[in-house]
Structure formats: C-alpha cells, structure tokens
Amino acid sequence: MSVIIHPRPSPIAAAMYMLRDLDVDVIILHGPSGCCFGPARLLEKDGVKVFTTALSENELIFGGEKRLRNILKKINELFKPKLIGVVGTCASMIIGENIKRVVEELNLANKTICCNVHSGLGDNTIGAIEVLKEAMNLGIISKEEFERQKYMLEMATLLEKTRGTARLEYIPNSPGDNPKKVAYEIINDIRNNKEVACILNAKKETAFLFADIIIVLNEIKKKIGGKIKFIANLDPNIGLPRIRNYSKIILEELNRRGINIDFITGGLDEYPIAGEKAKEIVLNSSTELAIIAGIPHAVAIEGKVKTIAITSGSRATSNLKSLGYDYVVNEYGAHRVTLGKKYIHRSILGNAIRKIMRDIS
Amino acid sequence: MRSIAIYGKGGIGKSTLASNIAYALSKFGLKVLLIGCDPKSDSTINIIGKHIPSLLDIMKTNKNPSIDMFLFKGSNNISCIEIGGPEPGIGCAGRGIIVGVNYIFKNLNINDYDFIIFDVPADIVCGGLAIVVKEKYAEGVIIVTSDDFMSIYAANNICRGLNTIRVNAFGILYNKSTKNGIKYVEKFSRKVNLPIIGIIPYSEEIISANKMMKTVIEVYPNSNISNIIKSISLSILNIKEGRIPNWLSINELEEIFYENS
Ligand SMILES: Nc1ncnc2c1ncn2[C@@H]1O[C@H](COP(=O)(O)OP(=O)(O)OP(=O)(O)O)[C@@H](O)[C@H]1O
Ligand SMILES: [Mg+2]
C-alpha cells in the first residue's frame, strides 16, 4: 500500500456529512473554532446549523467539557433541535474529552448522536461509520441498514485504495480535457450513430450536478437522433430518507423532461458497487462510447470501450487519466456546487454541449 | 546561568530534593529560581511554606500576567513559580507545561538567576513533559531513583526518552538509599553511562521537615542529612557537562538484579 503524502478527506468531515444525511438539525464540533471550518460552511448551505465549542489553549489544558455542556444547553434551549450531532476533533480527542458523559448529564442522550472521531483515525469513512453506529444505537436506523451502509463505506474505501486517489502516493493536479473538445467528441459519435451508454454513478448530492449529462444527451437525441441508453444509481427506495429523496427529485425532473432511465443500478449511496452493475450492462451490450459521470473509477471499463469520464477534482481527474479513461472532464467543485441544491444543476460539460447544439440548429 | 531538570518515578523524592537543593544553593549565595511543573503544584511548598497560585490558573483569566503575579519569593529569597495544570483526570498536563514554560521564558529575564531548577512530574511520558529539556530551557537532567526495581525501571525509561530526544543528563541522585541496594544503582549507573551524583539515605528529618513545609536544611541545619544535601548541591554546581545516557532492554534491566551478575 502506498504511503499517504497528500491531505486526505477527514473522518471528522465524513461524520458531519453523515449527520447531515441523518437530518440532524444541529452539529456541534467539540474543538478549536478553526477546525473543519470549510465543511461547516458548506453544511450550513444545506440547512444544518453548525456550532463549535471553540476550545482554546485554556480548555486544551484544563479540559473543555464545561464548555461543551454550556453550548449544548444553550443550543438546545434556543433551537429546540429534534436531533443533535456532536463530533470530536483532534484536539478534544487527544486530551480525552468525554462527549457522551456531557450529553448524558444534560439528559440529551436520547436525541444526540455522539461521535468520538479525530482526523488521525485513518480512512475518512471511519467517521461516517461511527455516526451510523450511534444512530443505530439510538434506533434511528435499523441494524440491517447499518450493516448495508457500513458495507458500502468499506467498499468505498477499498475502491479508493485500489482505483481511486488513495492508490498512488503522489498525484499531480490535472485540469482535465477541454470540455468543448469533449462535447464535440460526444456529438460527433452520436451523429455517427455510435451506440452510447450514459452512466450516472454518483455519490449522494453530487448527482444534482452529474445528472445534467443525462439531460443534455437527451436534448441531442431529440434533435439529431442517436442510440443512447441511460444507466443510473437512482434507486429511490434505498438509503436514508434524505438520500432517497435526492433520487426521487432527480427522477421526477428527468421524467418531466420525458427521460426514462433504462437501468437502475442501485441507490445514491451505492456507487462503490453500482459501478460493477453498470460495467456488466455496458460490456453485455454493443456499446461503443461510455460516458460516465460521478465516480467513474467505480465503473472499470476503460480500455474496453471508448470512455469519457466526468468527475470533480483535479486529483481525481489526473487519477482517471492515469487509469486510462480516454477523456476526462473536471467538473470543478461539484460538491460545493450541489450542496443545498434540490434540482439538477447545469454542468460545465453540459453547457459546452448546449452551446454547440444551439449553433447547430 | 545554570539550570537542571529533575525527573524520576512518582513519589521518589523529586520535589523534596529539588527544594532542598534550591535551598542549599541559595545558602551558597546563588540566586535560585525553582519552577514546579507538576499540576499538583507542590514543588515550592517547602520554600514558601504554603501553596502558591499557579501560573496556568492565573492565565485562565489573564492571558498576560505580569511576573509579580506568578513569581513568589520564599525563604532565603528563593524565587518560586508553580506552573500548575488541570485537575486530575481531565485536560492535558503536558500541554499546560508547554504553555507555562514558554510563557515564563518569554517574559522572565533568565539571566537574573544563577541557577534554575525544574521539578518535572514523573517520567518523560509525553512530549509536553519533555519540553523543558527539548527546548533546552534546562541544560540537562538529573534522574532521581531509589534501588528498587520499579524506580530503576522508571529511571531507565527516562534515559530512553533522553536518548531519543538527544538530551544530556548530568547524573543520578540515589534517594532513600539502603545498605544492600547500592550495588543495583551502581550497576545501573555503569550500564547507562551516568555518574551517581549523590546518595541520600532514608531520613526521618526529611519527613519531619516536609511536614513543617520546610527544607531539612532550614529545620536541621547541622544534621548529617543536611550536610549530605549541601555537599550534593556543591557537586551539582561543579558539574561541567552532561552526556546522553544509554538505556537498557528489559532483559538487561532484570540482569541488574541477578545476585551474581
Ligand atoms: N530521603 C528521604 N527519606 C525519607 N523520606 C523521603 C526522602 N525523600 C523523599 N521522602 C518522602 O517521600 C515522599 C515523596 O516525596 P516527594 O513528594 O518529594 O516525591 P516526588 O518524586 O516529588 O513525588 P511526585 O512524583 O508525586 O511529585 C514524601 O513524603 C517525602 O517526605
Ligand atoms: Mg513532586
């Protein structure tokens, strides 16, 4: 296994996102105020109130449980949250703070998910699994759902290590291919009557951006014809209510536009294994061009058919290039763009295609 | 300015020896500063006669306390500071020492003193407890041990820590010595390559003086034990340089206690 030399996603942030998926009203970070500022702001866009105990040198020396107690109490009185998440940080966990004890003292244990994580635990998914375990203990999710999600998260970690950005020690940044060039490539192939498979294999809310490719491909089809089948992990009956709802909203919007998904490969939290199903479907057909959006490296068909990968992040882009995907488009900041959105958002590649199609007519 | 940090197993006599050595050095006419780094804040009690407010406690409400708020003068004009720290079971004592020591050295004119003694809690169990020597606030370490296995075991751990962070030790103070125990401490001292600076026998006078919150030299100035401590203090003053100690594997450590090794 390669040594980690790039900053990696943090278990603390993963715990926060999982809490959001569980629809907590507030998250309290027990740590210094600068800790996880980035994810905190993004989650606020998504309607979660994020607070910090703002531990400073004094609390690091003398302990910060009193601080946590005061803030929990205040927030509980002020916002009357139905569900609270409290997440540890490096600083508070290293000095041995006991989050649970504070929560129990305040009689908030029946509506608070406590998560004792810090950033040095290894894989970020550990933070998400911690939250799920606590949610199961509180009866918010069933044991079966816990096991299913835990398995998915472990598969996601495995995927990152075998085919994702955790497989290489040093990964340069890559801007990816020019979206306009890739847009022409797609339009030409469709015009030349190539068989196209459009695969959405997205993670949770990022589907609100990556699903845009489905809309634009359908526009092309409507205008110039073409053989395009749609494959997507948009099962509205899998996952937490919030995640199911994402699928529902996207399917409804596609439906309104007269688009039918030919194959549903799983839920929006099942991208690590849904990719395998998509791969099977593609390889058992006469597909000539596969366009894969979201987590393309979970759909291991590079080299087998012509591939266009659409992803987010310049390291992910460079990783896909080095795996051998023919074209890779970087949808900058997909996560940032989609947080708080509840509709399909226009993408960079989608807009490039739209522009060309406008000029064609 | 000379400076030492005293390390050793819990309860071995670090604070007792630190305060007594401080007192002896002050009697030689030196300007002495005694810094207690233990959250218990009991290092300077024999010099002041009572607990003094600790620096970290003061810093809870005042981020920039002036020197006179945390530095107290005790018998024979010895300057005393207690860094303090969290109550047992919470927070982080190591972090406290880092913050406290850094503050002292940023604000105090160290060259006003001839000799500084740090009384550090227990072993070098974490980076915080090592800060005093790691940052070279103290020139070197004096390790206090007795002749039982556990205290030598702890002394060996300290040697290991010093070896890792490449810090000098001046030598060993053998406290609560017994007739039969000297051979173990001597063997240990040879193997880790550190001299025995002094041997302090078990002393009722020490216990009695501690009860009065005074140094034994102050209470029993002409006693045998006081003379021993004074002569040890003189030796410490005359040490020219320390060395990075060796440390022993558990087997080597056990061998020390085999009768015929
Ligand atoms: N030579 C001695 N003879 C008799 N009693 C001693 C001697 N040295 C220390 N003591 C006693 O041993 C006890 C522990 O001493 P002291 O508090 O100085 O140890 P310490 O190493 O500072 O402990 P801690 O690790 O808890 O800070 C005290 O009661 C003290 O009076
Ligand atoms: Mg002590």
Same domain, A35 and A136: yes
Q: Could you tell me the CA-to-CA distances from B106 to A24, A207, B170 in Å, in that order?
A: 46, 54, 26
Q: Give the pLDDT of residue A11.
A: 97
- Answer yes or no: do A62 and B90 touch at CB < 8 A: yes
Helix H or strand E encompassing A117: none
DSSP assignment letter at A291: E
Last residue of a domain, one of A132, A163, A194: A163
User: Could you confirm whether B14 is annotated as catalytic?
Assistant: yes
Domain count, chain A: 2
Of B12, B16, B217, the residue with max ligand 1 atoms within 8 A of its CB, to mutate for a pocket test, comes to B16
B47 belongs to a structural domain = yes
Please count the other Cβ atoms lying within 10 Å of the Cβ belonging to residue A193: 12
- Answer yes or no: do B86 and A62 touch at CB < 8 A: yes
Same domain, A157 and A187: no
The residue whose two tokens read 């034990």 is: B225
CA distance B125 to B123: 5
**CB-based burial label for B17 (10 Å; 0-12, 13-18, 19+):** buried
- Answer yes or no: do A60 and B59 touch at CB < 8 A: no
Same domain, A287 and A345: yes
Give pTM, 2 decimals.
Answer: 0.88
In chain A, the percentage of residues whose pLDDT exceeds 70 is 99
| ipTM of the prediction greater than 0.90, yes or no | no
B261 belongs to a structural domain = no
Same domain, A187 and A133: no
CATH code (residue B17)? 3.40.50.300
At B118, give phi and psi (nearest 5°).
-100, 130
Q: What is the mean pLDDT of residues A20-47?
A: 96
Query: Which protein residue has the closest C-alpha to ligand 1 atom 14?
Result: B11
- pLDDT > 70? residue A354: yes
Q: What is the pLDDT of residues B66-107, one digit of tens each?
A: 999 999 999 999 999 999 999 999 999 999 999 999 999 999
Same domain, A66 and A207: no
Q: Give the pLDDT of residue A336.
A: 87
Q: What is the mean pLDDT of chain B?
A: 95
In chain A, the percentage of residues whose pLDDT exceeds 90 is 94
- pLDDT > 90? residue A1: no
What would the two tokens of residue B125 be?
């169990």
Which numbered atom of ligand 1 lies nearest the CA of B122? 25
CATH code (residue A248)? 3.40.50
- Answer yes or no: do A61 and B90 touch at CB < 8 A: no
- What are the chain A neighbours of B131 within 8 Å (beta carbons)? none
Domain count, chain B: 1
The CA distance from A83 to the nearest CA of chain B, in Å, is: 28
A172 belongs to a structural domain = no
Q: What is the mean pLDDT of residues B232-247?
A: 96
Same domain, A235 and A87: no
pLDDT band at A345 (very low <50, low <70, confident <90, very high): very high
Q: What is the pLDDT of residues B47-62, one digit of tens each?
A: 999 999 999 999 999 9
A5 belongs to a structural domain = no
Bridge partners (DSSP) of residue A291 are A198, A308
CA distance A114 to A109: 9
Structural domain including B49 reads 2-255
A169 belongs to a structural domain = no
B208 belongs to a structural domain = yes
User: Could you confirm whether B114 is annotated as catalytic?
Assistant: no
- What are the chain A neighbours of B60 within 8 Å (beta carbons)? 58, 62
Nearest to A106 by CA among A144, A76, A86: A76
- What are the chain B neighbours of A62 within 8 Å (beta carbons)? 56, 60, 85-87, 90-91, 96
Same domain, A303 and A342: yes
A30 belongs to a structural domain = yes
CA distance A23 to A29: 16
At B97, give phi and psi (nearest 5°).
-65, -40
Q: What is the pLDDT of residues B124-183, one digit of tens each?
A: 778 888 889 988 999 999 999 999 999 999 999 999 999 999 999 999 999 999 999 999
Ligand nearest to the CA of B19: 1
Q: Could you tell me the CA-to-CA distances from B56 to A102, B83, B118 in Å, in that order?
A: 24, 6, 16
A4 belongs to a structural domain = no
Structural domain including A283 reads 179-360
A3 belongs to a structural domain = no
Q: Give the pLDDT of residue B123.
A: 77
- pLDDT > 90? residue B240: no
Same domain, A193 and A313: yes
The answer to whether the CB of B15 falls within 8 A of the CB of B209 is no
The answer to whether the CB of A109 falls within 8 A of the CB of A103 is yes
Q: Give the pLDDT of residue A333.
A: 86
Where would I find the H helices in chain B? 14-27, 45-48, 55-61, 67-70, 93-107, 127-134, 149-165, 182-192, 204-211, 216-219, 224-238, 250-256
What would the two tokens of residue A238 be?
């899998």
DSSP per-residue string spanning A33-78: TTTTHHHHHHHHHTT-EEEE----HHHHHH-SHHHHHHHHHHHHHH
Same domain, A157 and A205: no
The CA distance from A75 to the nearest CA of chain B, in Å, is: 24
In chain B, the percentage of residues whose pLDDT exceeds 70 is 99
Q: What is the pLDDT of residues A183-237, one digit of tens each?
A: 999 999 999 999 999 999 999 999 999 999 999 999 999 999 999 999 999 999 9
Same domain, A203 and A128: no
B260 belongs to a structural domain = no
Residue A165's SS3 state is coil
Last residue of a domain, one of A163, A187, A206: A163
- pLDDT > 80? residue B261: no
Same domain, A109 and A19: yes
Q: Give the pLDDT of residue B260.
A: 62
B140 belongs to a structural domain = yes
In chain B, the percentage of residues whose pLDDT exceeds 90 is 92
Q: Give the pLDDT of residue A112.
A: 98
CATH code (residue A112)? 3.40.50.1980
A6 belongs to a structural domain = no
Task: Return the amino acid letter for A190.
Answer: I
A171 belongs to a structural domain = no
Last residue of a domain, one of A130, A163, A196: A163
The answer to whether the CB of A294 falls within 8 A of the CB of A200 is yes
